[in-house]
Structures are given as structure tokens and as C-alpha cells.
Amino acid sequence: MAPSAQQAPGTFDELVARLQERLDRLTPSHRLLAERVMADPEGVAFMTISDLASAVGVNEATVVRFATALGLPGYPGLTRLCRERLREQAQLLRRYDNLEQLNLEGSDLLDRAAAQDRANVARTFARIDRAEWDAAVTALAKARRVHVMGLRKCHAPAYLLGYLLRMLREEVEVVAGGAGTLTDELRRVREGDCFVAVSIHRYSAETVRAFEWARTRGARCVALTDNPGSPLAPLADHAFFIDASGPAVLRSMTAFTSLVQALAGGVAQAAGQQVRSALLLEEELLEEFGVYAVGNRRAVPGNSHESAPEAD
């Protein structure tokens, strides 16, 4: 790996993004170092140069060349970024501390949460490249089949995107990956499909593997994730980085929800008259099956025909 004239990465996420970008071009020794740094930043943070060289099986000069080729000021620059990541890993504990501090000070958590979410949405939408956005919307509207996957906390925005898209077009599937069915669901991914993956740190291994598989199958890949260092980013044809900062213990999914709804709105706009036909059919089915209750009356099983349905 030749020395780089690029600006040195300023954060661990930037370091990971640069390593992922170059991974296939690294020498075997530098690849071993890159994989160790990405997999164990906490360990590397407090290793001496001889410790890391010994752990990976290279000499110390190779470690120095590896760091300087990334634009870093030698090995200390590498460990500094790893130590910053270590501090980030303590963020959950700090969030507990922040929540306790809010309670002690009598601060209004609702106001803090609202302000944080407004900032998350604003930052997320401000960084969207319009050409990337248009291309992703076109893929979601025109692909033969759309697959959407998000696990654990990310299941909620993934499910919402799948639900909204199913109202607008045919052939939309939410990949659940439950009870050992992931491989069965991935068999349906084909060239010409669109595969959307939703994941934030710490990234679901199954989501990343499924995204890799979809790419090898020729699907157009759209990532909704939290930063350029995400393992989804280098695999994506279109990647959108979404702020998930929260005022207390839990990370916020509000900006993910906003972006998902905007994507669905873009698909509706792109599909035009086709969407109108799909929604009319949806309304007919809702009415036929008496899906919704009216006013303050509850729907009674077996008597759904007595209640006139309302639009979703």
C-alpha cells in the first residue's frame, strides 16, 4: 500500500471507511492489520507497536508503514483513533448518566427528545445527494421485486417501508430471517431486484451477509445506515446516512422513519397512475373485509359487515 496524499482520517469511522475502500488492494500483511484494527479497535487502542506486530505476525516496520500509508502520523495516530472508538463504546453508559443528570437537574426530557429528533431529521435530509435519492426512488419503483430487511431495532423502519411499498406496488417482501428461514427468503433475490438493508451500530451480522448476497445476485442495493464506516456502505449502490442520536439511553429511529416515509412518497410520485389503481383496490378490499372500526364502536368478530370502513 503506497503512502497516501489524502487527508488523514479524523475519526475511527473515517478510518474504517478508508480501509474498506482499499481492502481488496492491500498487501497480505496490511490486510491482516486492517482486519485486526476493524475487528478489535478496543484491543489495538492499548497495544504497543510490538504487541500489534506480534499479534498479527508482521514486523514493526510494517505496522508503521501501514499507519503512514493511511495518512496518519505513524502508529500513535492509529491508536488515537482506536481510543476514540473505545470512548464511543462507553456511550451507552454515558447515556444512562445523562438521563440521571436530567432527572437530577429537573430538565424536561420531552423537550430534549423533540429537539434532538428535529436535529436528526434536519441533518439527515441535508446530507442527501439528490441524484442518489432519485436513483434509489427509481429502483424502488421500477425493480421487478423489492426486498427490505432490518432486524432487531431496525425491524420497525424496515417493516414500515415494506408496508408502505406494498400499498403502492406489487412484489414487495420484508425479509424477516426468523426461525432459520433467512436462506429460504434470500433464494428469491434475483438480478433486477432491489434490496434495501436497514442497520445501525452494532450492525446485525445477518443483515450484512444478506446484503452481500443480494449484491452478488445482481440486485440494486440501497443501505439505510448511520455512518460511512458501516459495513453496509461499501456494498451499497445507494447509501443514506441517518442520524440516530438520542437525549438519553436509547438511540432514536425518528429520522429513519421520516426517510422511509419520504422514500415511499417518492415511489408514489414516480409510479403515478399505477399507484392510484393500487390504492383504489386497497380501499375496496378494506371495505369488503370491514378492516376498520367506525367512531367509538369496536369491530365485533363475525360482524365486521356492520361497520363501514375508513381509509388508512
Radius of gyration of the chain (CA): 24
Residue 242 contacts residue 255 (beta carbons within 8 Å): yes
CATH topology of domain 114-271: Rossmann fold (3.40.50)
* Separation CA 196–CA 228 (nearest Å): 16
The model's confidence at residue 22, banded by pLDDT at 50, 70 and 90, is: confident
Q: How far is CA 259 from the centre of its chain?
A: 11
The model's confidence at residue 101, banded by pLDDT at 50, 70 and 90, is: low
Portions of the chain given CATH number 3.40.50.10490: 114-271
* Separation CA 26–CA 44 (nearest Å): 19
Q: Which residues share a beta bridge with 220?
A: 194
Portions of the chain given CATH number 1.10.10.10: 12-89
pLDDT, tens digit, for every residue of 106-124? 567 777 788 888 888 888 8
Residue 23 contacts residue 34 (beta carbons within 8 Å): yes
What's the CATH architecture for 12-89?
A: Orthogonal Bundle (1.10)
pLDDT, tens digit, for every residue of 152-191? 999 999 999 999 999 888 899 999 877 678 888 888 999 9
How many CB atoms are located within 10 Å of the residue 258 CB?
Answer: 17
**C-alpha distance from residue 257 to each of 117, 118, 243 (Å):** 11, 12, 11
Contacts of 48 (CB under 8 A, 6+ apart): none
pLDDT, tens digit, for every residue of 225-267? 987 778 898 899 999 999 887 766 678 899 999 999 999 999 9
